[in-house]
A and B are shown apart, each in its own frame.
Chain A
Amino acid sequence: MRPFFVATLFVTLCSLFSAGPAQAHKVNIFAYVEGDTGYTESYFPDGKPVEGGTIEVLGPAGNKLLEGKTDQEGLFSFPLPAKDDLTIVINASMGHKSKFLLKKSDR
């Protein structure tokens, strides 16, 4: 119990001191399709972009189709791999993770 508490406190303190205030907030992702390209935008609640976050594009069975990194504006785009429902996952530092379901019917 005690080592766990200390570890938790350590992680909490690390995130307090090493990350900017925005990283105390949740990571969000929004995705849409134009033509044959999927566009993603990753951001904190105040609009600050998530830089260098890992984006994973998953197929209907949860299989990874492709992966990439967000740019300085929190953007990442990719050629659409399949005419299926896609789950797009943003994985930022410190285990901040969020996902967006891009439905086949939305395209």
Chain B
Amino acid sequence: MSTMKILIFSAAITLLVLTSTAAAHFGTVIPSKNIVTPEDSCSIALEVKFIHPMEGQYMEMEKPKKFGVLHNNTKTDLLPRLVAAKGNSPSQSEKFTYWKTDYQIKRPGDYTFYVEPKPYWEPAEDLFIVHYTKVCVNAFGLEEGWDEKIGLETEIIPKTRPYGLWTGNLFTGQVLVGGQPAAHAEVEVEYLNESPGNRSALQPPSNPFVTQVVIADADGVFSYAMPKAGWWGFSALNEAGWKLKKDGVEKGVEIGAVYWVHTVDIP
């Protein structure tokens, strides 16, 4: 092998190792604000992506299977309102599809937005990934609804009210699979480096800093204290009891329950 070939080969290996270990995949649904007050505009913009939150890389996202909002015990289908957009991280040259929409808040109370994506094939892990992703927006000071279930195959139920959180606050959630607590579920935690208002991109000193890992207790309950202002994603991973076919071969499906919360520095 020539030196050049060795160089290219080792670069490719490095890239493979980096992409397969360093970054966790996260579904995201991020609103332009998560607290609507009487002084604000009642319109919020929402972006739905499939990315590596800390490292920033986008993955191509098909139009989700479901996208809706739960408010006042009523679910509203918002899927027809999603519009495709393109984006990437500074490290990517190609652009990837994500989804966005505007939503008009009309009443007080909590609005939980939820996404069920189409299964994403991940060759590096030889499985499909489906991240059921949620975020809560509070409107006009009525704090009702944030801990309601959507009824997704897997989801995180916040046990800490998921808005009005300071940096350093502890977030506690419960992982459900099939509506039941998921004992000892593994929860991955990542900071969204592209959080609006993030003053300096967080540079992890080594790989374990990229994705924090917490194991839930026997009731599926986990906690994590968030050390920086911006958006924090919690992703509880489990293997589905069902399989999907890739090129005629049955493959496993990773189901993730993802929840996003926003923290603000104490002034």
Min distance, Cβ A15 to any Cβ of chain B, angstroms: 19
**A interface footprint on B100-118 (CB within 8 Å = 1, 0 otherwise):** 0000001110000000000
Quick one: which of B106, B107, B143 contacts A45, CB cutoff 8 A?
A: B143
Contacting B at CB under 8 A, from A43-94, are 43, 45-47
**Pairwise interchain contact A29-B142, C-beta atoms closer than 8 A:** no
Cβ-based interface call for B39 (8 A): yes
**Residue with the highest number of chain A CB atoms closer than 10 Å, among B38, B106, B142, B144:** B38
Cβ-based interface call for B208 (8 A): no
Which chain A residues border B106 with CB–CB below 8 Å? Answer: 32
**Pairwise interchain contact A30-B140, C-beta atoms closer than 8 A:** yes
Quick one: which of A30, A32, A46, A98 contacts B143, CB cutoff 8 A?
A: A46
Cβ-based interface call for B141 (8 A): yes
**Pairwise interchain contact B142-A28, C-beta atoms closer than 8 A:** yes
Residue of chain B at shortest CB distance from A28: B141
**Pairwise interchain contact A99-B142, C-beta atoms closer than 8 A:** no
**Pairwise interchain contact A45-B142, C-beta atoms closer than 8 A:** yes
Quick one: which of B39, B107, B142 contacts A47, CB cutoff 8 A?
A: B142
Which chain A residues border B38 with CB–CB below 8 Å? Answer: 29-30, 98-101
Min distance, Cβ B73 to any Cβ of chain A, angstroms: 12
Residue of chain A at shortest CB distance from B139: A30
**Cα distance A36–B108 when bound, in Å?**
22
**Cα distance A100–B140 when bound, in Å?**
9
Which chain A residues border B107 with CB–CB below 8 Å? Answer: 30
**Pairwise interchain contact B140-A47, C-beta atoms closer than 8 A:** no
**Cα distance A29–B106 when bound, in Å?**
13
**Pairwise interchain contact B39-A43, C-beta atoms closer than 8 A:** no
**Pairwise interchain contact A41-B39, C-beta atoms closer than 8 A:** no
Which chain B residues border A28 with CB–CB below 8 Å? Answer: 108, 140-142
The SS class assigned to the B binding surface is: loop
Count of A-B residue pairs with CB < 8 Å: 31
**Cα distance A98–B107 when bound, in Å?**
17
Which chain A residues border B141 with CB–CB below 8 Å? Answer: 26, 28, 43, 45, 98
Contacting A at CB under 8 A, from B112-151, are 140-144
Min distance, Cβ B145 to any Cβ of chain A, angstroms: 10
**A interface footprint on B30-68 (CB within 8 Å = 1, 0 otherwise):** 000000001100000000000000000000000000000
**Pairwise interchain contact A101-B39, C-beta atoms closer than 8 A:** yes
Min distance, Cβ A45 to any Cβ of chain B, angstroms: 4
Which chain B residues border A32 with CB–CB below 8 Å? Answer: 106
**B interface footprint on A18-44 (CB within 8 Å = 1, 0 otherwise):** 000000001011101000000001010
Min distance, Cβ B29 to any Cβ of chain A, angstroms: 24
**Cα distance A41–B107 when bound, in Å?**
10
**Cα distance A7–B128 when bound, in Å?**
64
- B interface residue numbers (CB < 8 A to A): 38-39, 106-108, 140-144
**Would you give 7 A-B contacts (Cβ < 8 Å), ordered by A?**
A30-B38, A30-B107, A43-B108, A45-B142, A47-B144, A100-B38, A100-B140
List of 3 A-B pairs having minimum Cβ-Cβ separation, nearest first:
A28-B141, A45-B143, A100-B38
Q: A30-B140, A43-B108 are in contact. List 20 more A-B contacts (CB 8 A).
A: A28-B108, A28-B142, A29-B38, A29-B140, A30-B38, A30-B108, A30-B142, A41-B108, A45-B141, A45-B143, A46-B144, A47-B142, A47-B144, A98-B38, A98-B141, A99-B38, A100-B38, A100-B140, A101-B38, A101-B39
